[in-house]
Homo-oligomer: A and B are copies of this chain.
Amino acid sequence: MRFSEGVEWGMHCTVLLAQAAGGKALSRRALAEHYGLPEAYLAKHLRALAAAGILRAVPGPGGGYQLARPAAQLTALDVVDAVEGTASPFTCQEIRQQGTSAVPPEQCRRPCAIAVVMAQGQQAWRETLRGVTIADLVERIPAPVREQIRAKLGGPRP
């Protein structure tokens, strides 16, 4: 089970856009070149981030993508959900109700304990990612690296 590369790409692009001067958009090409990514593949993930309300597409010359919300109001979970979707990786097919020992429906009113523990694991994962904002991730970039990015993007001085 693997995440798409779009999770890493989307996370980095969102963190980068959080460091651009307020309102400044970066083009798809600029984002791709910044990280040496294939622009055509990145495009799909940028569209997904925009569709999810994380990025906003700015049309026209000088356009591109900018954050749609303040970085402190966007979480790591928002980005992963936008790229990967929100479906749980585990789907309970209710096999307890199948086969020669099928449990009758009246004894299956409570969810299967196996589905419950899988959902709890998923919940723990989601809570962890929900607890970290894009602003937090910017904060965790080493100061000299942040300064280089600021100089390049013309972002505000920290």
- Can you tell how many copies of this chain the complex includes? 2
| Majority-rule SS of A interface residues | helix
Whether the pair A99, B1 counts as a contact (CB closer than 8 A) is: no
* List of B residues within 8 angstroms of A92 by Cβ: 8
How many interface residues does A have (CB within 8 Å)? 61
- Could you tell me if B107 and A76 are in contact, using CB atoms closer than 8 angstroms? no
Tell me which residues across on chain B come within 8 A of A40, comparing CB atoms: none
Interface on A for B, CB 8 Å cutoff?
1-5, 7-9, 11-12, 15, 32-37, 76, 84, 87, 89-93, 95-96, 98-103, 107, 110, 113-114, 116-118, 120-129, 132, 136-137, 140-142, 144-145, 148-149, 152
